[in-house]
Amino acid sequence: MYLLSGVSFVSSSDFRQIAIRTESGKAERLFRAAVSAFCSLTRPSRREIGQLEDLTLPLFDNVSVESRRYVAAALSECEYAPAALVRRLCEEPVDIAAPLLIRSRAVSDIDLIALIGRHGLPHARAIARRKDLNPTIADLIRALERPTLVRTRDPEAAPAQSLIVKTQATADSETNQQMPGQQMPGQQTPGLAAENARRRLRSMMHTGNEALAAKVDAFPGADTYVKLRETALTGNAAFFQTALADALDIDFSVAQSLTANQNYAPLLAALRSLDFSEDRAFLITVAVYPGLFPHPQAIRTYLDRYRLLYRDTALEKVRGWKAEILSKAARDASPATGDSRKASNSDEDAPGLRVSSRK
């Protein structure tokens, strides 16, 4: 248990039990109080962010519209708002989601495009009020609202805008060919124009998702992660231990000892020293120790431990392992050195023998 700005926090399962045992108003007050306490933090830790999500998301369907609206407004001003809770609120009707759509930094451009594609004009109009809105998203919102009046800039300065205009012109041409005599050239029915705009939004979102995936694959240490993940998934302990020794620059014997018993703490420290995200670290750990995570609480315990372990502490442990290797090597070498010195000293202590040998 720990104290967060006057609100006592325990595990999310305890909170859910409290909410179940008491009246619905208790869940309502708990939902608001937890978010209020979180927003008062200057710089919340990853553990506190995850704990707020674990608490509020199970209660989400049981709280009133007023509480959701209150939480959305509070989190819209929060610099480190929990992403999962923000995304859930953004899927609500625009009268609830509007503060987050307009101000929240936790909503990425890809999230905005997805929301427009799913919810159409109401969400799009709120998103259009964001400061520093991506120009391409702004153009697409204008195309969605007034499809025949898309304003253009200099094509050389904005190739994306030129592409949008060409796409719009192509859609107009196709529409006129398919329905001759029903409308004037260059005009579209509002429903068809809106669907064309949504189609372009979905296309842009798909491209953005591919770019995001490429970015994830290119994160620092990606090659090391892939090697550890693939060797762990083979089920061959020696393969994984070899890859771990290479990644940490330690002896194979030390890497072998890290996974020799049913305690994942040493492996957790090793993965934390490599600065892997918690989901990547967990995937590797569960591949090595599949029997240690039979239920969600075991997984939550692992993630809590990983979040609480500072990377500097993990690096210090790795340095300790390396120091033990050097110390052992020095101890192994010292007897031979001592024997040679003893032999040398014995020769010095017996000069008569040296003289007799010369004779």
Does residue 307 form part of some domain? yes
Does residue 336 form part of some domain? no
The string of DSSP codes covering 162-174 is HHHHHHHHHHHHH
| Rounded-to-integer distance, Cα 97 and Cα 123, Å | 8
* C-beta separation of 193 from 147 below 8 A: yes
| Rounded-to-integer distance, Cα 187 and Cα 34, Å | 52
Please classify residue 132 by burial: count the beta carbons closer than 10 Å to its beta carbon, then call 0-12 exposed, 13-18 middle and 19+ buried: exposed
The token duo for 122 is 């109401």
Tens digit of pLDDT for each residue in 83-117?
Answer: 899 999 999 999 999 999 999 988 888 888 888 88
Q: What is the dihedral of CA 224, 230, 234, 240, to 10 degrees?
A: 10
Mean pLDDT confidence for 247-271: 89
* pLDDT for the residue numbered 35: 93
Tens digit of pLDDT for each residue in 144-191?
Answer: 776 554 444 444 444 444 444 444 444 444 444 444 444 444 444 555
Does residue 134 form part of some domain? no
Choosing from 76, 107, 138, the residue where a domain stops is: 107
* pLDDT for the residue numbered 270: 92
* 136 vs 73 pLDDT, higher one: 73
Does residue 22 form part of some domain? yes
* pLDDT for the residue numbered 69: 94
| Rounded-to-integer distance, Cα 273 and Cα 60, Å | 36
The residue assigned the tokens 């195309």 is: 143
* pLDDT for the residue numbered 118: 85
* 4 vs 230 pLDDT, higher one: 230
Does residue 242 form part of some domain? yes
* pLDDT for the residue numbered 87: 92
Distances (CA, A) of 346 to 198, 264, 276, 349, 357: 93, 52, 57, 5, 15
* pLDDT for the residue numbered 204: 57
Q: How many domains does the chain have?
A: 2
Does residue 29 form part of some domain? yes
Choosing from 279, 295, 313, the residue where a domain stops is: 313
Q: Please give the mean pLDDT across all residues of the chain.
A: 74
Does residue 210 form part of some domain? no
Mean pLDDT confidence for 302-317: 88
Range of the domain at 288: 222-313
Mean pLDDT confidence for 306-326: 86
Does residue 326 form part of some domain? no
* pLDDT for the residue numbered 193: 58
Closest CA to 69 of 101, 42, 24, 47: 101
* pLDDT for the residue numbered 198: 57
Amino acid making up residue 333: A
Choosing from 60, 87, 107, the residue where a domain stops is: 107
